[in-house]
């Protein structure tokens, strides 16, 4: 049986993210895992969508590396 997962968003928000090619369920799982690893919630919410992008800007790469260093130092 499938697990019900509260994404904390409306159906419209879910559909908007899906239309952008994003996976809201996977993003929420990433956010929760980052928070469990010690990353502040605001940063986890900024970084989670970037982790699924194939092409990232240098600024996005820098943010991901910063968060990764936080996780490794825990």
Rounded to 5°, the CA angle 64-69-70 comes to 100
pTM of the entire structure? 0.80
Q: Please report the pLDDT score of residue 34 as a whole number.
A: 93
Q: How far apart are CA 38 and CA 56, in angstroms?
A: 23
Q: Please report the pLDDT score of residue 18 as a whole number.
A: 93
Render pLDDT for 16-67 as a digit per residue (tens, 0 to 9). Answer: 999 999 999 999 999 999 999 999 999 999 999 999 888 999 999 999 999 9
Q: Please report the pLDDT score of residue 13 as a whole number.
A: 93
* Inter-residue contact 22 to 28 (CB < 8 Å): no
């Amino acid at each position: 049986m499938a697990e019900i997962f509260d994404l904390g968003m409306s159906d419209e928000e879910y559909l908007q993210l899906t239309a952008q090619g994003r996976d809201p369920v996977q993003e929420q799982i990433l956010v929760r895992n980052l928070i469990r690893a010690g990353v502040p919630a605001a940063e986890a919410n900024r970084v989670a969508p970037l982790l699924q992008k194939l092409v990232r800007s240098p600024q996005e790469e820098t943010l991901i590396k910063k968060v990764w260093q936080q996780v490794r130092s825990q």
